[in-house]
Structure 1
Amino acid sequence: MANASKSRVPFWLSLPALLFFAALLVTPLVMIAVLSFQSFDLATGATGGATLSNYADTLGDPYYHAIFLRTVGIALATTVICALIGAPEAYFLSRMRPPWRSIFLIVTLSPLLISVVVRTLGWALLFGRNGVINNVVSALGLSSGPIPMLYTIQGVVIALVHVAVPFMIISVWAALQRLDPKVVRAAQSLGAGEVTIFIRIILPQILPGILSGSLIVFALAASAFATPAIIGGRQLKVVATATYDEFLGTLNWPLGAAIAIVLLIVNATIMLTYNRMLERRYARFAR
């Protein structure tokens, strides 16, 4: 009996956190899922009864196909660029000596101290036809006209990279803190070059950090609303802005809920598949 009561201690200790988690996350998701199966009428709004018409509209309409493909493409591009920038940057930061390491780490993570809306509005000012970038390019004579960056996929990706790259750096930085410097020095003493050390010793050990950072960045980019809404505008829709339009534009809450649930399933499927593939590669590479 004593052993049985002791085995329940972790459960009772974690129960308040589980209830809090269920109240703030699970309950709203269940409510959205239930709403997505309801019918919609222009006169009365959401009505009772179960129907699959909202999912049929979402999965069968080419308009939503283009939106989902655009969203996934933007998220993948953002993730790849963040990995290419964040991993080397975290590595170089880890090799700096105090106090420069702390100073540059704070500077790198400082965008997290500013609201994402403020940062995105700053990019909108830079990307405009009369923005700083186009004015500089025009003054240098590098272009005969304004370079289209606002309301483009490229502009959205650049702004999302600025928003998400600190999360990649944090993830890789945490993995680098577990790196044993003696192994690197041993490789150097045996004549290994910097490239060989990075590929054969450092990269396998920071792959978990790159994996976790990629998952965080992909989830943030795929579900981002403020940045695509401001930089992409009304013409360049992603799933988050399409869901917003259904909820507050046409007031078709069931269809908006169905779009949100499909996005959740797509994100979870891609992230789990990516996780399994990279873990297998990492296990093979570590051997």
Structure 2
Amino acid sequence: MATLEDGRPGAAPWLLSGPALLLFVGLLLVPLLLTLMLSFRVFSDTAGVTSAYTLTNYWEVVSDPYYGTIFLRTAGLAFAVTLLSIVLGVPETIVLARMKRPWQSLCLLIVLGPLLISVVVRTLGWQILLGNNGVLNNLLQSLHITSEPIRLVFTMTGMIIALTHVLVPFMVMSVWATMQKLDPQVEWAGRSLGGSPFAVFRRVVLPQIMPGVLSGSIIVFALSASAFATPALIGGRRLKVVATAAYDEFLGTLNWPLGASIAVLLLIANVAIVMGCSRLAERRFRHIFD
């Protein structure tokens, strides 16, 4: 029997990780495999899902400009939310990292507090805030900034605002984890050598927190590209994204193979972008991790 004394870990790691591995396979890999198989099935209006296989579903999604518009809208939404999360989350995290206790813990709890609330509840709250008769429009009109309500619900702008609020905490957590590893004496040394605050931030602090920024960007992009509840409630039926399009095919037209093909293509695009960004981050910032 292999033991730790002869340099081999033995069966203990496999026994310890076995339940989690089985859970991962059963709840994630098996459904994904079944969805992939379903995406190749033939759908008939009279017979439903048949036992025959075809590539027509993928060709329909790839060749139809309607689905092309939906995928482009989803990509634009994800990129916009990711950019806004960087602009808002990175400075917010830097300010939090420089605060003193107990204010630091209190403000961090406030920032991460929305994660404790259901995403549906938060999105309904944004519907109330952004509606034509909502709090924001009433405030703007009472201050005579606008003469009529600004349409934000069922628009791309409204979806970006609501999704950014939902996903900024993930950016904050990623950058926060990176900032905890920074040595403040390095920044102080740069200031003592005559560097301006902006120069020290650009040449000392920013390169060290970039891995956290890229990690947070990957998380935010993946979550926003596959988001369903917020785009469905704020965007409505007019501004569909990929997730809502797949939902409509499954439960609206009951064309499960077409819905499965949309979901598979979204997964492939997400994985390709995430892996590409991960490789880029690893290659670009390898010296920092070393």
Q: TM-score range by the shorter chain?
A: over 0.9
Tell me if structure 2 keeps the 8 A contact 1:204–1:286. Answer: no
Give the corresponding residue for 1:172. Answer: 175
Partner Cα distance (1:211, 1:91) in 2: 16
The CA RMSD over aligned residues, in Å, is 1.8
Structure 2 unaligned segments of length 5 or more: list them: none
Q: Which runs of 5+ in 1 are unaligned?
A: none
Q: Distance in 1 between matches of 2:60 and 2:219?
A: 29
Cα distance in 2 for partners of 1:155, 1:71 equals 14
Determine the structure 2 residue equivalent to 1:39. Answer: 42
What is residue 152 of structure 1 aligned with on the other side? 155
Instruction: State the TM-score, normalizing by the size of structure 2.
Output: 0.94
Whole-Å separation in 1 of the counterparts to 2:15 and 2:125:
48
Asked if the contact 2:93/2:175 (under 8 Å) is kept, the reply is: yes
1:13 positional shift? 2.9
Partners of 1:237 and 1:177 lie apart in 2 by: 40
TM-score (norm 1): 0.95
1:145 and 1:182 map into 2 onto residues whose CA distance is 53
Q: Deviations over 1:207-253 (max 9, x none)?
A: 11111111110111001011000100010000010011000000000
Inter-partner Cα distance in structure 1 for 2:288 and 2:98: 24
1:13 corresponds to = 16
Q: Percent identity?
A: 55
Instruction: Return the letter of the residue paired with 1:273.
Output: G
Query: Is the contact between residue 70 and residue 238 of structure 1 (CA under 8 Å) also seen in structure 2?
Result: yes
1:70 maps to: 73
Contact 2:41 2:52 in 1 (8 A): yes
Match of 2:263 among 257, 260, 266: 260
Q: Which residue of 2 aligns with 1:95?
A: 98
Q: How does 1:47-196 map to 2 (within 5 A)?
A: 47-196=50-199
SS at match of 1:46: strand
Number of residues of Structure 1 aligned to a counterpart in Structure 2: 287
Superposition pairs for residues 193-212 of structure 1, below 5 Å? 193-212=196-215
Aligned mates of 1:222, 1:187 — CA distance in 2: 40
Deviates more, 1:146-155 or 1:187-196: 187-196
Return the alpha-carbon distance in structure 1 between the equivalents of residues 242 and 185 of structure 2: 48
Query: Would you identify which runs of 4 or more consecutive aligned residues in structure 1 move more than 4 Å?
Result: 283-287
